[in-house]
């Protein structure tokens, strides 16, 4: 028969009996001994009773967790702290709805619409709506629009027709470049002045120069290299190169070419105007890019060198 040992509860000081082996084990490791699980639980919280500063609810907390202000839950803490430290001075980050232009509070993620109704109106089109939008855009621009210029219907084109180019063909227009016509085949897009461009983006830039009557030359060789600049403008004997870096950050090799061209211009004393996709899409900002150039060239005759 197991020998029992008389023990006093560490919490309530009540006398109780434990098996001799359990008593010796607790004494060896320095464990406190309790008469019941209830006393053990009460001892763990050490009976430190606090009252919430917001709702006056009673709760327990360990001594090392007590702070100058104590609350029973996070909600009560938020109620008090928001009253003490209002955040009215913080200006919320707003974003413009792609569909209606309304300003709404920006949240996490790439949310483009202020409501589901705007998203539905912008993205959930019928095939007839998509084709009508493409035709009207082409008529307004005087050319075939690029996919990035009509982002609101790009997903609808993919869903309804399989791709952007197939939607353009269905609208009775000719795509700027089909899937089988890759860059190495040099399938060009013709600008309004007759210059052949490697993409619709380059054609947009060339048309801007033509519209503002700025003399420009295509495919000019960099000094002492085989590199070619997209355009060159010459003012008072000084050369200004214009480059459209459409694949920047897409390819390490392409980025090395950009750095090489920048260094060549610095070493040769040639001014370089760099244009990136963000300067064309979703909103064209060439006026800001060419502000100084446009002022210098104003009043000159429209002469274009091919």
pLDDT in tens, 273-304: 999 988 888 788 888 888 866 555 554 444 34
Structure tokens given for 39: 């006393």
Dig out the tokens for 246 from the structure.
Answer: 């459409």
| Residue position matching structure tokens 């060009």 | 188
Report the C-alpha gap between 59 and 192 in whole angstroms: 78
Give residue-wise pLDDT tens across range 39-74. Answer: 888 777 666 788 999 999 988 777 777 888 889 999
Q: Is the pTM of this model over 0.85?
A: no
Cα(first)–Cα(last) distance of the chain, in Å? 111
Nearest partner of 76 among 50, 52, 49, judged by Cα: 52
- Every domain range in the chain assigned CATH 3.40.960: 188-306
Question: Domain 188-306 is of which CATH architecture?
Answer: 3-Layer(aba) Sandwich (3.40)
**Is the confidence at residue 98, as pLDDT, over 90?**
no
* CB environment 38-58: b (16+ within 10 A), e (fewer): ebeeeeeeeeeeeebebeeee
**pLDDT for the residue numbered 91:** 66
Q: Which string of DSSP letters, residue by residue, matches 78-117?
A: HHHHHHHS--TTSPPPEEE-TTT--EEE--SS----SSHH
Percentage of the chain exceeding pLDDT 90: 17
Does residue 182 have a pLDDT over 50? no
Please, which contacts does 163-166 make with residues 24 or more away whose CB atoms are closer than 8 Å?
none
pLDDT (tens digit per residue) in 236-249: 778 899 999 988 88
């Amino acid at each position: 028969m197991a020998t029992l040992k008389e023990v006093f509860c560490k919490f309530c000081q009540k006398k109780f009996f434990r098996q001799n082996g359990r008593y010796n084990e607790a004494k060896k490791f320095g464990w406190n001994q309790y008469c019941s699980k209830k006393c053990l639980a009460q001892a763990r919280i050490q009976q430190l009773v606090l009252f919430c500063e917001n709702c006056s609810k009673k709760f327990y907390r360990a001594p090392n967790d007590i702070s100058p202000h104590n609350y029973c839950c996070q909600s009560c803490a938020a109620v008090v702290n928001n009253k003490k430290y209002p955040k009215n001075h913080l200006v919320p980050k707003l974003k413009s709805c792609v569909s209606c232009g309304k300003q709404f509070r920006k949240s996490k993620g790439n949310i483009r619409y202020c409501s589901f109704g705007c998203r539905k109106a912008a993205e959930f089109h019928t095939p007839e709506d998509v084709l009508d939008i493409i035709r009207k855009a082409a008529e307004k621009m005087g050319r075939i629009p690029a996919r990035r210029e009509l982002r609101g219907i790009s997903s609808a084109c993919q869903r309804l027709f399989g791709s952007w180019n197939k939607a353009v063909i269905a609208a009775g227009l000719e795509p700027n470049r089909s899937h089988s016509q890759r860059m190495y085949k040099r399938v060009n897009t013709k600008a309004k002045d007759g210059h052949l461009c490697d993409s619709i983006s380059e054609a947009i830039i060339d048309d801007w120069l033509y519209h503002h009557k700025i003399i420009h030359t295509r495919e000019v060789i960099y000094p002492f290299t085989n590199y070619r600049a997209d355009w060159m403008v010459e003012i008072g004997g000084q050369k200004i190169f214009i480059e459209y870096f459409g694949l920047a950050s897409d390819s390490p090799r392409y980025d090395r070419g950009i750095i090489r061209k920048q260094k060549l211009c610095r070493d040769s004393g040639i001014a370089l105007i760099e244009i990136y996709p963000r300067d064309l899409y979703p909103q064209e900002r060439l006026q800001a890019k060419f502000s100084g150039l446009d002022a210098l060239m104003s009043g000159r005759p429209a002469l274009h060198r091919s």
